[in-house]
Structures are given as C-alpha cells and as structure tokens.
Amino acid sequence: MDRVNFADRLMAVIDKVGTPLCAGLDPVLERLPSPIVDRAFARRSGPRAAADALGQFCLRVMDALEGMVPAVKLQSACFELYGRHGVAVLEKLVREARRRGFLVLGDVKRGDIGATAEHYASAYLGGPETAPGRCTAGFGMDAITVNPYLGPEAVQPFVRACERFGAGIFVVVLSSNPGAELFQRGPGRALFERVAVEVDRWGADLVGQCGYSSIGAVVGATRATEAAGLRRLMPRTPFLLPGVGAQGGEIESLAPVFDRDGRGGLVTVSRSLIYAHESRPGVRMEAAVRQVARRLVDQLDSVREQRRGKRSGSKPAARGRAR
Amino acid sequence: MDRVNFADRLMAVIDKVGTPLCAGLDPVLERLPSPIVDRAFARRSGPRAAADALGQFCLRVMDALEGMVPAVKLQSACFELYGRHGVAVLEKLVREARRRGFLVLGDVKRGDIGATAEHYASAYLGGPETAPGRCTAGFGMDAITVNPYLGPEAVQPFVRACERFGAGIFVVVLSSNPGAELFQRGPGRALFERVAVEVDRWGADLVGQCGYSSIGAVVGATRATEAAGLRRLMPRTPFLLPGVGAQGGEIESLAPVFDRDGRGGLVTVSRSLIYAHESRPGVRMEAAVRQVARRLVDQLDSVREQRRGKRSGSKPAARGRAR
C-alpha cells in the first residue's frame, strides 16, 4: 500500500480541522462571480476559457476554506462539460487541493465491469505513472463515488484499487433525490438495504485503526428517516452525506449517522456554500464562503455534541486557519 | 431538434450497411500491435504517447471496418485512463468516426441527478458551442450508455437531451456480467424488469418513423433467457447487446430480440473483434479484423433470417465496402 488506509486519513484530517464538512465544488459558469468569467474570456475563448474560469473559481473557494474544512468533493461532470480543457483543469485542481492539505473526493459515480472498472479505478485513484507498460495519467484522488447497479463486478475492482493505493470509495447506497425510491427501494427488502449489506462486506478487509473502513457509502442527507437503519447495517462505513441546503437536507437530522465520538459522517455541501456570494452582495467572495462555512460548522458541532451525550451549545476550542 | 430522431438514424444505417453489428473500441495498451505502441512511444512519452497509440489503433480498426459495420462504441474508461490526453484522443476519434459514416456510441455509463446529469448529457450528446453563455466542448456522440440506479432524475435529463440533439441513450437494464443478478434481480419483481418498464415509458415521446424509440436498453448478450421477456416489456426499444465472445454470449441465442424485419437489436463486439490480430499471426491487423467481422455478420444474418421466418443460410446480397 502506497499510502495509509483511507479511513484513517479521513478521520485524522477531520479530527485535525475539527469538523466533518466537505466543500462540494460543482462550479457552473453562469453562477460564478462575473469578474472571474470576464477575465477568463478576455484571455481565451470557448471551452478553454470556461474551464479556466471554473479553475480560478475553485482555487478561490479553496483559498477561502483552507484550514476550515478537511475535504473537497470535485464534481467531474462540471469539468467534463469542457472536454479535454475541463479535464486538464480538474487534474490541476486535484493537485492544488492536495497541496493545500484537503482530502480530495472525486464525484464521478463510475460503475462498470472488469477491465473497464479497473481503468476507472487506476485513472481516478492511482497516481500518475509514465513507464510504458503501466502508464496512466492518474488523477490521484483520495476517494471517488461509485455506482453499484452492475453488481459486485462493478465495485470489486475499485475495492482492490483502494487496497493498492490506500484510497477510498463511496458507493451510492441511497441517493438524495426524491425519485431514488423508484429503484433503490422497490418490493421486498429495499434494494438500498441490500446494497448496504454488501458495502459493509466489501469493506471488511479495509478497516483502519480508526475502526472505519475505506469503503464508504453515499447516503442522501435528505434521508434522515433511513439513516439510523443504514448505520446499523453499515456500522464501520463512513457516510458521505450530500443534499444539505439546496436539496432540503438538514444537518440537525443527521445525528444517527455519527458515533459517540462524533465520527462516521462527512457532510458535503455544494451550491449553498460555494455560491454564498450570490446572497451577499458587496461581500468579497471568500468572506461570503467563510460565513456560510462557519454556520455549517456550528451546526455540525451541535449535532456531534448531541451524539457525545453532552448538551449542545458548548463550543469546542476555536478553530479556523490554525491547522 | 438539430438532427433526425436517433432511432431512425440507427435503423437507416443498419439497413444501409446491412448488419446490426457494432464494433466496440475498448483499446488497452498491452494488447495493441507492438509497432503501433513503439511508434507512439518513439515520438512522445507517458500518458500522451499511450493515448496516441490508442488513437492510432482505433483509426486502423475503423479503416478496416468502414462500410462493414454501421456503428462503433467507444469505451470512455480506456481514454480517461490517460487524463486530458486520453480525452483529447477520444474527442478526435468521435469526429473521425462520424466522418467515416459510423454512428458513434459512447460507453460512458453516466448517471447522476439534476444539473450534473444535464452536464453529462450536454458534454457527450451535444455538439461544441463556443458562445460564452452556453459554451461546451460537446463530443457530439450519437448515443451514450446511462446507469439508471439513481432513478428518473438520473435519466430524464438525458431523455430531454435526446430530444434536443436528436441523440439516443441506452439505459443499462440487465448487464452481461454474472453478478448483475445481485441487485438487478432481487426479491419480488426483478429490478431489471421494473427498469425495463420505465425505459419503455421514457422513450414514448421519442419513437421515430421506424417504430423504435431513441431511448434504448443495454441487455447483456449473455441474457438470452430473459431477452424474450424484456422484448415484450420494451417492444419499441432498441437493444444494445454486449457480451458476445470473450464474455460468453452467443449471437445464435439472440433471435428473440429482433422483430420480423430483423430489426431492434445492435450487437456490440469488442475484444474478440478488435484484437483479432492476436490469434492470426502474420495476418495484417486490418485483414484479421475484417475476417472476424465477416464471421459475425454471417452469424447475425442467420439469426435475423430466422426471425424473418425464412430458412437460415440464404445469404443476402454481397456487402462490404459498398456503402
């Protein structure tokens, strides 16, 4: 294994920064501050300019949140939209995020069988290799999201890659969208519960010293009702929880996900965090992002305090850029 | 709509070329003829050289099959492995394939919700746009594969894109791998059957003059037992049938997929076709590929003749490069 167990790295950086908040970088051109877009299109044109603008924006969000959040989640689709230019920017952002000390999750939702899954795993979780025999661009992400629909063959190559690279995956178990029910529930025992049982099993050999596995699960933050049951089915699985804010999920409802040490969940917030400038005219972008992040961190503090069996409200020691 | 209905274009090109065979381009460096690899690595190094080698190889497979098969399916993972260099080659291959008259399917198995799905749809199905407001690299593929696990929200943005771009999708219904059973079947009514019912519904507004819809289904060619039932659930859905050859699927077993005009299926063959040179030492790569293609075309002729209610063996008029 090139690096230490992903779950251990995840828990360590959450402990260090003091909060399990992940910034979701889903940059969309029409929502970026116009000076960033104007500058990019003054220099270049077309997809290349657009990709540059996304890159600049994400760097500024990272600048704002360095030391305040332990992880960023990059939405691959936003970059794929600009083809090779977007992918080049994505590669660069992964490097920059890691340099700043963030754990980097790639929201790629890949899932395919055999050699195809191996390619995806090497592409996103492996590092770059230049030897002709085993050469790959290797984004070197710390973890990615994986779609389980195709079955074990679509997940196991990623599990093996986690072992090889000290990386992690988050298998989509129960997504945050209302229509998720249609296939993820269904008749008999809900499919998402059956997926959950498998996720727990796939992670059995990758449990770190922290007690959690490198094989995580995506569970919508809108799924508070199911969260406790899923936690029981996947006691050692880190949960990646999207859907807070724009999609209606509430941090307050997520207590059952966390253990008595306040661990086990990583809440990822995208639009309501990175576009904080939209509702704060006159406030510098970085400051607006930090304001929202601070509020989210406070909410997460309360929830985790609750799980620790203490009264909420007693703030832990000051944090900020002190990482 | 920019282009005519995808299903109509699919059926037209199958009729013109005379066979529903699709060449699966899943290029893997270690299986390419060594002169192609050596030449690429003599000029460049690392992922860029590897991507160039894949590109050269795919162009030669296309040269070999031009006029013999109506469609190519590009496996995105093989190119993503080489990051931006791979994606640049993929973009170029899509253009080259279209220039040669092939219908281009992108095997990307994307699936996500909301704006993310819209990005994927625009990226792969839309054409390039340079206007700052709506700029995208736009691969301009004719169709892509889509993963339905996240539910209608993960498919409908693609359906809308099909309408807008005259494009198609193939929703993964029942995949070719043995482990597909685990989630795609399950207790109660099998999930893949419930997905099939939805696929038929999603395609209702996109039925072309040919009687088939632009919303297709991936059904493993290893799934002959389920094929007839799935055809009944999805009477107007084009089936994309992978898994012949290396995965054990047999063309002979696929008759129930085709209608009485021999239409409704597109059989995609990858490794056993594109690596034909491996088992034919001394034969030029292009010739080896054509030998295998000819055998597959003959098998498909028999199966479709069977469906037409005629005795198999009566070959249709000669085809070849006469497109």
- Contact with chain A for residue B139, Cβ under 8 A: yes
Instruction: Say what the pTM is.
Output: 0.91
Q: Is the pLDDT of residue A316 over 60?
A: no
State the pLDDT at residue A3.
Answer: 74
State the pLDDT at residue B183.
Answer: 85
State which residue of chain A sits closest to B196, comparing Cα positions: A183
Mean pLDDT score across all residues of chain A: 91
Least confident residue range of A32-46, A54-68, A124-138, B250-264? A124-138
Tens digits of per-residue pLDDT, A76-110? 999 999 999 999 999 999 999 999 999 999 999 99
Choose among A75, A136, A177: nearest Cβ to B47. A136
Report the largest interatomic distance among the alpha carbons of chain A, rounded to a whole angstrom: 59
**In percent, how much of chain A has pLDDT > 90?**
83
Instruction: List the one residue out of A140, A96, A120, A138 whose CA is nearest residue B47.
Output: A138
Which long-range CB contacts under 8 A does A90-99 form with residues at least 24 apart? A90/A139, A91/A137, A91/A139, A91/B83, A91/B84, A92/A55, A93/A25, A93/A55, A93/A58, A93/A59, A94/A139, A94/A140, A94/A141, A95/A140, A96/A59, A96/A62, A97/A62, A97/A72, A98/A140, A98/A142
Tens digits of per-residue pLDDT, A210-265? 999 999 999 999 998 999 999 999 999 999 999 998 788 999 999 999 999 999 99
**Distance separating alpha carbons of residues A67 and A286, to the nearest angstrom:** 13
Choose among A113, A115, A148: nearest Cβ to B183. A148
- Contact with chain A for residue B81, Cβ under 8 A: yes
Pick from A73, A80, A171 the residue to mutate for testing the B interface (most B CBs within 10 Å).
A80
| ipTM of the modeled complex | 0.90
**Distance separating alpha carbons of residues B180 and B220, to the nearest angstrom:** 10
Mean pLDDT, range B133-159, rounded to an integer: 93
Residue with tokens 């966390």: A258
Q: Is the pLDDT of residue B310 over 80?
A: no
Which long-range CB contacts under 8 A does A251-254 form with residues at least 24 apart? A251/A221, A251/A296, A251/A299, A251/A300, A251/A303, A252/A299, A252/A302, A252/A303, A253/A221, A253/A224, A253/A227, A254/A221, A254/A224, A254/A227, A254/A303
Domains of chain B: 6-23+58-307 (3.20.20.70)
Enter the tokens of residue B296: 């597959």
Give the confidence band of B186 by pLDDT, cuts at 50, 70, 90. confident
Mean pLDDT, range B13-28, rounded to an integer: 97
Mean pLDDT, range B129-149, rounded to an integer: 91
Active site residue B109: yes
Pick from B81, B172, B275 the residue to mutate for testing the A interface (most A CBs within 10 Å).
B81
Q: Give the distance from CA A234 to its chain's centroid.
A: 18
Determine the angle formed by the axes of helices A224-233 and A191-202, rounding to 10 degrees.
40
**Distance separating alpha carbons of residues B302 and B300, to the nearest angstrom:** 5
- Other CB atoms within a 10 A radius of the CB of residue B229 amount to 15
CB contact under 8 A, B80 and A29: no
Interface of A with B in 253-312 (CB under 8 A): none
Instruction: List the one residue out of A274, A290, A296, A272 whose CA is nearest residue A33.
Output: A274
**Burial state string for A212-236 with b = 16 or more CB within 10 A and e = fewer than 16:** bbbbbbbbbbbbbebbeebbebbeb
Choose among B75, B110, B187: nearest Cβ to A116. B75
